[in-house]
Chains A and B, each alone.
Chain A
Amino acid sequence: LNAAPGRAPRQQVRFLPAPAPGGGGAVELVAARVPVLADHPLVRGPRFKKLKIGAGHRLDVKASGVFVLGIGHGNKLLTDLYNCHLTKVYTVGGLFGKATDDFSDTGNLVEKTTFDHITREKLERILAVIQGTNQKALLMYSNVDMKTQEAYELAVKGLIRPMGKSPPIITAVRCLQFALPEFQLEIHCLHETQQYLRKMVHEIGLELKSSAVCTHVRRIRDGVFTVDDALPRTQWNLQGIQEAIRNCQLKVETELEKTL
C-alpha cells in the first residue's frame, strides 16, 4: 500500500526573493508556487504505519463462511450495518443418531439412538413449527404496538423486524438435503451465534424422538455480502481487496439508505 503513489504534496504560495531584472542589488518579491516541505515523503515517512481493521458479526472457530471486515473509515459503516439488523443465511449440516455434549460431532458422546423412523415429512413438520414460534417471537420483539394500524401493515408486508437487542430469532428454515443419517438445512436468522444453531440441530433431533449432532456450519450470506463477493484465501492481496471494496460499495450504500 505504501508503494502506491501517494497524494500529491500540498502546494502553497510563498513570496520568494528573486533577483530583480535589470541589475543586481535590489531584491523583489515574486509570488511562486512551492511545495510545502512538511509534505515531502522523506519528511513525513510512509503513509500507512498501521491499519484499523474491524470485524463484522462473529464467526467462531469451528464454522466457516462469509466474514465481513471493515478497514479504516469503513469501521463506521460496520456499526451502521449492525444497526440495520439484516438476516444472515447459514447452511447447517447434521447427523442423526448421536448426541454429544457440545452439540457437534467432535464432542464427547452422551447418547446413541435409533433414527430409522425419521422421514423427510416429519422433519419438515418440525421445521414448520420452529418457523411458527420464531415468527411470534419476531412480532413480539419488534417493539411495535400490536393494536395500531401500522403494525398490521408491517405484518402484511412481512417487514416487522426487531430493531434492537433480541434473543436469536430464525426467520426461515428449509431442508435442502435429506439422506439418513445425514441432512442439511438452510437457516435465515437474526442475532444468533453458531453455538445456538448447533443447539437447534440437537433440539430438532430431540423433537423427532432421536438425537442429532451438527457436522458443519457455513455462513453463505451476511446482510448484503454473499459467498460470491467473499475473497478466497488465494486472493488475499491488495488488488483483490481493493476490487472487492469497489464492488461492494454501491450495494452497501443502497442498503444503508433503504433502512436508515
Chain B
Amino acid sequence: RRALGGAAGPPSTRQRREAEEAAPVFQYAGKAAKRKDRVFVWGFSYSGALGVPSFVRPDASWKKPRRIQATPYRLETEEKISSAACGYGFTLLASSTRDITKVWGMGLNKDSQLGFQRSRRDQTKGYEYVLEPSPIPLPLEKPQQTRVLQVSCGRAHSLVLTDSEGVFTMGNNSYGQCGRKVVEDEIYSESHLIHQLKEFDSRVVQVVCGQDHSLFRTKKGTVYACGWGADGQTGLGHYNITSVPTKLHGDIAGVNIIQVSSYGDCCLAVSDEGEVFGWGNSEYLQLASVTESTQVNVPRHLPFKIGKVKEAACGGTGNLVLTEEGNVFVWGYGILGKGPNLTETAVPEMIPPSLFGWSDFNPDIRVAHVRCGLSQFAALTNRGELFVWGKNLRGCLGTGRMEDQYFPWRVTVPGEVVDVACGVDHMVSMVRSF
C-alpha cells in the first residue's frame, strides 16, 4: 500500500531552509526601546527602611518574615526617583517631578523624620514605623512648579532641597539640627512641623546631614552649618549647639567649595581647585595629618599630595576621596579596603585600580563616584558597576554573604548603577536597566 501524503522522514536541507524562511519573526524590543530606571534596595528590613512591607509582615501565614535582604531587591516606585538618601533606619526617595507628591519616605518615624504619617486605624495618631514608601506632604507655596533637587538624612532628621523654595527640615531638633530654635521638652513624634530655611547668601545647591548636624553648601561656594557641635562638626569655632544656619570660616573662607560630605561626626569639603578641607571629630585619625587634637572646630586644609581631588565621602570612622585620574584614596580607622592588615592610617592610601576591574584587557575602567555609609564604602565605576567594602552590618553590603569585606567586591545588580546611597544597615541604589 502506498503511504498517504508525501514521503515522511528527515527534511532535506532545502526544505528546512524554506521552512525557516517561512517562520514568523517575533519582536521583543523595537528600535526606540528606552532603558527603564529602577530602584534596588538591600540590608536590614525590620525597620521598614527597605520599603517592602512583605518582608516585615508577610502576606501569607506560612511565609516567614525576612529580617535581612542580602542581595539587591527591586522596589516598585510610582515615579522615576532622581535622588535617594539613607538615614539611621529610614530612607527618603525624591523625584524631580512637578506633581504634588515629590518625596516618599519609609522606615523609622519616631521623631517625625518622615513628616506626619496619619495612621489609618486611628486618625489622630501617626505611624511610628512606615513600611511602604509613603508620600511626605511638604508645605510648598507653588507645589506644581517647584522641583525637589536633593534629599539627605541624618540620625533622626532629614533635609529636602528644592530649586526655588529653599530647604525644608523635619525630625529631631534637640540639637538645633533642623535649623530652628530648640524648644525644651519638645515631643518630636507625631509632629506636623516642617521648617523652611531660606536665609542664605545665595541659592543652596547641596544639603548634607551628619549624625546630629546639618551642612548647607550654596552656589557661591560657602558652607553653612547648624546642629550639635561637641565634636566641632559645625566648624564654627566653638563646641556648642547652633540652631540657626551660620556661615563657616577658617581655612575655607573665600574658597569656592564644590562638594561637602558628612555622615558621622567628621566633615570633608572639596574646593574647585581639588583641595580637601576637614573639620569635626578626629578620634580616628581622620584629621591627624594636621593636628593631634581629637576635635577640630574650625575647617582646616588637609595638605595631601595625591593629585586634584574630585569628590570626597566621609564615613563614621573612615574617609574616602576620588581624584581626577580616577584613583581612590582611603584613610581613617576600620576596614579601609586594603586587606585585614590595614586598620588605621592618618595618611591617604591608594586602593589599587585592579580591584575595581582595571586590567590590560580593560584599561579604561575608572571610578566615577564614591559614597560612604557609617562603616561601609561604595564606589561606582564608569561602566556602571558597584563595588562595596567595609563592615557588613546586617547584610548591608549586598554581596549575599554575611561576612565583612576587606577589599572592594562587586555587587551583582541587573542593570547599570547610576547612584547609590549608603546608610547604617541598608543601601539604596538607582539603576538603569539594560
Question: Contact residues of A with B, CB < 8 Å?
Answer: 97-98, 109, 111-114, 116-117, 122, 125-126, 128-129, 131-133, 135-136, 139, 146-149, 151-153, 155-158, 172, 174, 207-210
Interface majority SS (helix, strand, loop, mixed), chain B? loop
Q: Which B residues between 11 and 35 are near A, CB-CB below 8 angstroms? A: 19-20, 23-31, 33
Give CA–CA (A117, B385) in the complex, Å. Answer: 24
A126 to B415, CA, bound (A): 9
B30: chain A residues at CB < 8 Å are 114, 117
In the complex the two chains form, is A158's CB within 8 Å of B28's CB?
A: no
B26 and A111 within 8 A (CB):
yes
9 CB contacts below 8 A, A to B, read A112-B20, A112-B24, A126-B434, A129-B434, A147-B403, A147-B404, A148-B340, A149-B341, A209-B33
Provide the residues of chain B in CB contact with A172, threshold 8 Å.
Answer: 359, 361
Q: A113-B26, A117-B31, A126-B434 are in contact. Are A132 and B354 (CB under 8 A)?
A: no
Q: Could you tell me which B residues sit within 8 Å of A by CB distance?
A: 19-20, 23-31, 33, 338-341, 352, 354-355, 357, 359, 361-362, 383-385, 403-407, 409-410, 412, 416, 434
Is A112 within 8 A of B26, CB to CB? yes
Contact B26 A114 (CB under 8 A): yes
**Contact across chains for B403 and A174 when beta carbons are under 8 A apart:** no
Q: How far is the CA of A111 from the CA of B23 in the complex (A)?
A: 8
B354: contacting residue among A128, A158, A210, CB under 8 A: A158
CB-defined contacts of B341 to chain A, threshold 8 Å = 149
Q: Are A146 and B434 in contact, with the CB atoms below 8 A? A: no
Q: Complex formed: what's the CA distance from A122 to B434 in Å?
A: 7
B21 → chain A closest CB, angstroms? 9
| Closest partner residue, chain B, to A125 (CB atom) | B434
* CB <8 Å contact, B407 and A128: no
* CA distance in complex: A227, B23 (Å): 40
In angstroms, Cα B434 to Cα A148, docked, is 36
Give 7 closest A-B pairs by Cβ, nearest first: A152-B339, A209-B29, A209-B28, A114-B27, A112-B25, A149-B339, A172-B361
State in angstroms the CA–CA spacing of A119 and B103 once bound together.
Answer: 36
| Alpha-carbon distance A112/B28, docked complex (angstroms) | 11
Given A113-B26, A146-B406, A209-B28, A156 contacting B354 (CB threshold 8 A): yes
Whether B407 contacts A152 by the Cβ 8 Å rule is yes
